[in-house]
Structure 1
Amino acid sequence: MSKTILITGGARSGKSALAERHALTLASQAVYIATAEVRDDEMAERVALHQARRGDEWRTVHAPLNLLETLRKTDGCGVRLVDCLTLWLSNLMLGGHDWQDAVQALAAALPEQRDPVVIVTNEVGAGIVPENALARAYRDASGLMNQIIAAAADEVYLAVCGLPLKVKPNEQHAF
C-alpha cells in the first residue's frame, strides 16, 4: 500500500539522511528524484556529498521542474525519494512558472501513487523576516507549499539534530 511521508527541518538538520534511511526500510531499491540544479561550485559539492552517501540501491532521476511527471513515470518502480521540495519551488518561482498550480497538482497526485513517496522539504519560516521582497515571497510560498503537502501526506516528521520527531499523524484537534 502506498503512502506519502514528508520530512521537514532546518538547514543541516539531517532530513535528507533520515529520508534516505527511511526509504530503504520500505524497499531494498529506491528511486532518488533530485530537484537540484547545479549552478555553482557550492551546489556541486552538496550534490556530490549526497551522491557519495547513497549506495548502489539508488537510481537517480533529475527533475528540477517536472516533478509530477517524474513521479507518475516512476510509479511502479518502488519507493521514491524526492529531495527536495523547496529547491523544486525555487526552480518554479525563478522560472516564472505557476508554483501554486504545480503544488496543488502534486498534492492531488500523491494519494494516487501506488508506490511510497518520501519527500524532503525545508522549514524556512522559523528565522527572521527576510530583507528583500523575493526572499519574503519565497518564504511565504514555501510555508504554504509545506502546509499543502503536509495535509496530503500520511506521515510528517520534523528533523531535529538528525533525529526524527513525528508530527503527523497525531490526534486531530479542532482549533
Structure 2
Amino acid sequence: MFTKLKLSAILLSLLFTLGCQEDLAPSNDQLESTQATREGETLNDITFTLSDGTSSQLSEQLATHDAVVFYFTMWCPICEGHMSYIRQQIKPHYENVAFIFVDYVSGNISSTLDSQQSRGYTDFLVISDFDNALETYFDGTMATTVIVDKNFIVRLNSTFKTGSDISNTLDQL
C-alpha cells in the first residue's frame, strides 16, 4: 500500500509537471514584455495631484527641468530599494531632471502623504494617483519608469531593471 501511495504521488507530480506545457529549461533569450509602451509618443500636458493636495502639470515641471522621470511605487521593499538607488546613484548626476514618484496603490492623498513621510521621501515630489489615470495611461505597475523630455516626448516607458536604462536615456537627452 505504501508503495502504491508513493507511486501515485510520483505519477501525480509528473502529470502536473508535464501538464503545464512550459519549457522549464533555462534560457538567455530576452523575455517578451506584455507592458504597453508609449515610447516615442508626444504627450499632451498632464495634470496630476501631489501628496500635499496641490495640483501640478507636466508643463510646469518641464519649464524648469530638461526631463521628468516618473517612477511607479507601491512602497514595497523592492520599490524602496529602487527609490533609494534613484536617490543615491542617479539623481545626483542629473540636477536638471525632476524625479517624481507615483503612488498608484494608496487610493487617496492622505495615505500617499503618510507613505511618503513614513518612508523618508519628503525630498521628492510624490503623485497621488488615486484615480489611476497615470497608471492606466502608462500601463504603470510596480517599478514602471517613464522618462519624458523637454519636448513632451516619452523617451522611456519600461520596468526598472538596474537603473542603467534611466541613466542611458538621460545621457542621450
Instruction: Normalising by structure 1, report the TM-score.
Output: 0.31
TM-score, with structure 2 as normaliser: 0.31
**Considering only CA atoms, is the larger Rg found in Structure 1 or Structure 2?**
2
- The answer to which structure, 1 or 2, has the higher relative contact order (CA under 8 A, 6+ apart) is 1
* Higher share of residues assigned helix: 1
